[in-house]
Amino acid sequence: MRVFSQVVLIAVLVCFIFSPFRRCHAFEDGDLQFWNTEGVEVKLSDRCKCSVNEELRFGNNISELYHTHTDGGLTLKVTDELDLGMRYRLIYEKDRGAWKEENRPYANATVKWVLFGCKFRDRGQLEFRIPEGKDEKWRYRNKLTVILPWEWTRFSVQPYVADEVFVDFHGEKMNRNRLYGGFTAKPFKHLKTELYYLWQISKSKRSWTGINVIGLKLTMVF
């Protein structure tokens, strides 16, 4: 219980640290959301694993479920420095009160290295988006994660920071950015957890708007 309270306290501090960036963009909505992800990861061999997860997103100050998706696929460890993945995501999201479906096959490549004791993970992801009632489009996402060289308690609590850029090929422009700060932990042999704060800004037709997200991930590992 003491460990959990320490993690929550540190997460609050992370939110406080990132809050100046949020004020710089002076968006009016600033919705507070909660994203919850639960999944299963199975090691098929020394170089291949499969995983499936389900995510629920609650918006409007965590009062309304507006997004759910199921995501699954394979990851291949090509070398110690490179992973390749092929995945598929089925999304349902509210649009003007109605639930809309989106099918999203995608591929990714993650380059890994260590510098000054920090673990770097640079993931490039190419998505083919097939939204209901809208044009199909391609999108590229790049997420750079830095896992800091500290590990606390027997639960292997580790802090990390990350930044993710979204580029819409349909409009040939960057239209979204996510800034992360959080902690990973392994409280049990077959359970990985992640608690994070995410600040997301997205560009509409005229302006940038943002949301604040508290996220929790639980993954069973076999």
Tokens standing for residue 164:
């993710």
Return the pLDDT at 204: 80
Q: Which domains does the chain have, with CATH numbers?
A: 2-221 (2.40.160)
CB atoms within 10 A of CB 180: 21
**What's the whole-model pTM score?**
0.85
Reported as a pLDDT band with limits 50, 70 and 90, residue 20 is very low
Mean pLDDT of 31-57: 98
- Is 80 exceeded by the pLDDT of residue 15? no
pLDDT (average), residues 97-124? 97
Section 61-76 average pLDDT = 97
Q: What does the pLDDT read at residue 70?
A: 98
pLDDT tens track for 126-158: 999 999 999 999 999 999 999 999 999 999 999
Per-residue pLDDT band for 212 (boundaries 50, 70, 90) equals very high
Could you tell me which residues come within 8 angstroms of residue 198 by beta carbon, excluding any fewer than 6 positions away?
A: 35, 178, 179, 180, 212, 213, 214, 215
**Cα–Cα distance, 177 to 149 (Å, whole number):** 25
Look at residue 187 in the predicted model and tell me its pLDDT: 95
DSSP characters over 167-206 = EETTTTEEEEEEEEEEEEEEEETTEEEEEEEEEEEEE-SS
Q: Which range is least confidently modeled, 4-8, 14-18, 24-28, 165-169? A: 24-28
Q: What is the DSSP secondary structure assignment for residue 152, as one 8-state letter?
A: B
pLDDT bracket for residue 68 (50, 70, 90): very high
Per-residue H/E/C for 86-101 = EEEEEEEEEECCEEEE
Helix (H) or strand (E) holding 20: helix 2-25
Mean pLDDT within 70-82: 98
Token digits of residue 42: 């199975």
User: What pLDDT shows up at residue 11?
Assistant: 45
The arithmetic mean of pLDDT across residues 29-48, rounded, is 96
Average pLDDT of every residue of the chain? 89
